[in-house]
Amino acid sequence: MAIKCICLIGVIILMMTEDMDPHEKYGKASYSNGYWYYFEDEENDITVNASAWSGKERVFINDELVSSKRRLTRQSSHAFHYHGVPYEVQFRLTSFLAGEHECRIIKAGEEIGRKRIAFYSGSASDVARKITQFFLMGIFAGAGTVMLAGLLADDIDTVDFGAGVATGLASVGAVFTLVLIIKHLRNKS
């Protein structure tokens, strides 16, 4: 029964994180697509992607990958040359709670573009959907951990302990969710 519940939760999460239409991904953030930024520089189309999961950042000019790196800090920078012209792309986490990131494009020392994308933005239903995904993934991970602990230990005391830990983690997730909802509602007013 527990395995069926975990599988059902996994299917729900996958349905909620379906890939967007490729043309709708710019200026938005999702678990499956990450953060996508689009800039125009004369005849060049600059596309920047930052993963919502792994911290991997990629910069494309005219669909050609020109820089890629993994970021594990609040800010990072990509410096490169394209057709002999120096470019720099800067990423910065501007709000941890809202999941807001800023991307700046600098060409030959002058800023040519700056955009911010917040993961938790939009209408109340959009925010609730994203927060629900986060909460369901926490439950899924907690339930999987409890089941694994029970299988490895083959001991009811360990399973009870694991269930307690999972309940505690779910409580923390609920508090975090509540804080995000309150913050979003305050920003709307």
Residue 85, phi then psi, degrees to nearest 5: -100, 130
- Residue 30 reports pLDDT greater than 60: yes
Torsion sign across C-alpha atoms 116, 134, 71, 42: negative
Q: What is the mean pLDDT of the chain?
A: 75
Look-up: residue for tokens 């983690």?
Answer: 169
* CA–CA dist 119, 130 (Å, integer): 8
Of the given ranges (20-34, 110-124, 167-181), which has the lowest mean pLDDT? 20-34
Q: Is the pLDDT of residue 152 over 80?
A: no
Percent of the chain with pLDDT over 70: 52
User: For residues 81 and 29, which has the higher predicted lDDT (pLDDT)?
Assistant: 81
Torsion of CA 171, 172, 178, 182, to 10 degrees: 160
- Phi then psi for 109, rounded to 5 degrees? 85, -5
DSSP assignment of the chain equals -HHHHHHHHHHHHHHHTPPPPGGG-TT-EETTTEEEEEEEETTEEEEEEE-TTT-EEEEEETTEEEEEEE--SSEEEEEEEETTEEEEEEEEEEETTTTEEEEEEEETTEEEEEEEEESS-SSHHHHHHHHHHHHHHHHHHHHHHHHHHHHHH--HHHHHHHHHHHHHHHHHHHHHHHHHHHHHHHHH-
82-93 residue pLDDT tens: 999 999 999 998
Alpha-carbon distance of 82 to 21, in angstroms, equals: 29
Q: What is the mean pLDDT of residues 154-181?
A: 64
The Cα 92–Cα 46 span in angstroms is 18
- The pLDDT score that the predictor gives to residue 114 is 94
Structure tokens at 146: 């409890």
